[in-house]
Amino acid sequence: MRLSWDQFFMAQSHLIANRSTCTRLAVGATIVRDRRIIAAGYNGSISGGVHCSDEGCYVIDGHCVRTIHAEMNAILQCAKFGVPTQGSEIYVTHFPCLQCCKAIIQSGVTKVYYANDYKNHPYAIELFESAKVETIHVPYENPLDDLYAQDKLSFIAELLSELEAKQVDQDQLKAHYERAQELFTKR
């Protein structure tokens, strides 16, 4: 099973989001030019700074002022190392906020791929359209989710059958069946 380019770069952004130190929402961003990754970022504190995951968020007017957004971190990484962003594309786990939208436009990014809607600001949408920056929804499908699903399902079914054969309490057995059902039907 070979991933499409969109799924490959989106998977990269989801992987990067695991480095986030934000306790409110983990976001990852990957900047790509000519199908090559040129930068990546996640939301968190400044380098060497206090992290929200360690000391809590510093919230003013409903926004954590300690956090630098993933998109901004990726763009700043390009600036820091002299990597041009003109004509690039960005893959983000969540639709960019208004401030990131403006930075994306100013940096010369031409397409924004996002996996999840997140407070999609109407003015950000308007700015993207006005700047001719294409926004493309790419639902993320983790290729590893189903890799061992059948083996796991078979193993759980076998365990539940053994419990039933040993005449385990019916209420307890029913709870186990329901939990197994939840695990394998959740999307």
Q: Which residues contact 176 (CB under 8 A, 6 or more apart)?
A: 160, 163
Catalytic residue among 71, 89, 141, 182: 71
Q: In 85-119, which positions are buried (b, 16+ CB within 10 angstroms) versus exposed (e)?
A: beebbbbbbbbbbeebbbbbbebebbbbbbbeeee
- Chain Cα centroid distance, residue 92: 7
63 φ, ψ (degrees, to nearest 5): -125, 140
Active site residue 158: no
Distance separating alpha carbons of residues 20 and 64, to the nearest angstrom: 14
Catalytically active residues are 71
